[in-house]
Amino acid sequence: MKTKRILYIEFLRIFACLCVLFIHSPGNLLFMHYGVNSLKFWVYQFFLVLSRSGVPVFFMISGAMLIKKDESLRFIWENRIAKTFVILFVFSALAYIGSAVVDHNFSIVQFFTRFYGSYTNVAYWYLYSYIAMLMSLPFLKAIARNITDRQFWYMIALAFVLYELRSAGEFLLLDNKLTVTNNLMPNWLFSSIVLYPCLGYYFAERFNAEQNKKRLWILIAVSLASIALSCIMTGRYVTMTPEPKSSQIVSFHKMFEMILAITVFVGARVLFETGKVNERIKGIIIFLGKQTLGIYLIHMFVVKLLGFTPVESILSSVFKNMKLLAASVHILIVFLISLVLSVLAEKALQFLRKSIKKKTG
């Protein structure tokens, strides 16, 4: 039975996929090539901060699509968790083999150590978290289906004030010399595998897009202010620190990811449910949306392969001082190559299934 495709959900898949590609691209910290007095420092950061909403949007999509379904524990484990684990294992093995060939260092023990203890490819951490979310699905359903709209907004307010605004305040006012005790924070609620799936369910099932169309502008205004604040904190940190750490910069860029993800999710729903979309564009969105998993799984292989080619140097010389444009073209190349490989892999799997059915049938 084919799953009915929801247009705004497919658009969100594409958006989130492009965000992930941008984060994993060579241009993910390109703003660091410029000083804080340069306009490009701030413009480039804007897109980088926005791209941090990609992963939360993916989790929101999962919540929107899965929490509403009535599925047994057996179905969740045998179909969803088992299939995801197989995908994770196969692509982790391929990623390890690829790096082992380059480094001339292959070890079965090392592969299983990395697979069990962390990951063989940095991009695949999401699959581990996705499996953890699937394990938690019965509890997420019990929470999301039974709390009131007011309680949902209380959840959002808690995360926005206690995590996002509090983190910003501690840096801007206290230089992080004093931070609140972790014991006071309801961290289980702020976890990506709890907060975002629940919010995805709420904004997909309980939120009226038509009635709240005008309020979207409030969300956009708050999001723009949040992006500006993230950029200001990064600028201040870079100015004050002789050797800025990328991990700290990432924390600033991710600080307001919840409010950005909500704005993107609600914005897409309002746009596609209250507006008219050309049938050809609908077809393109649905086609690309179906391929986002394959693109995500394949893109890091493509990025590494392109690293052995002069693509980056060619783009840099062609676009010269336009690093953002060069990075955008690089992302587009990775996206298109990954898309083609994903479609070919899908066709190959379909052919293989048909061949097996013919032999066994």
Q: Can you spell out the DSSP letters for 178-218?
A: S---GGGS-HHHHSHHHHHHHHHHIIIII--TTTTTTTHHH
What letter represents residue 119's amino acid?
Answer: Y
The reported pLDDT for the residue numbered 104 is: 79
Give me the average pLDDT of each 10-residue run along the chain (361 residues): 81 96 80 84 90 96 96 95 96 90 85 88 92 97 96 95 93 92 92 96 91 88 96 92 89 95 96 90 95 95 88 82 83 95 92 78 59
The reported pLDDT for the residue numbered 361 is: 59
Residues 6+ apart with CB under 8 A from 106: 97, 100
Residue 175 zone, left/alpha/beta (φ > 0; ψ -120 to 50; rest): left
The reported pLDDT for the residue numbered 98 is: 87
The reported pLDDT for the residue numbered 323 is: 78
End-to-end CA distance of the chain: 20
The reported pLDDT for the residue numbered 1 is: 46
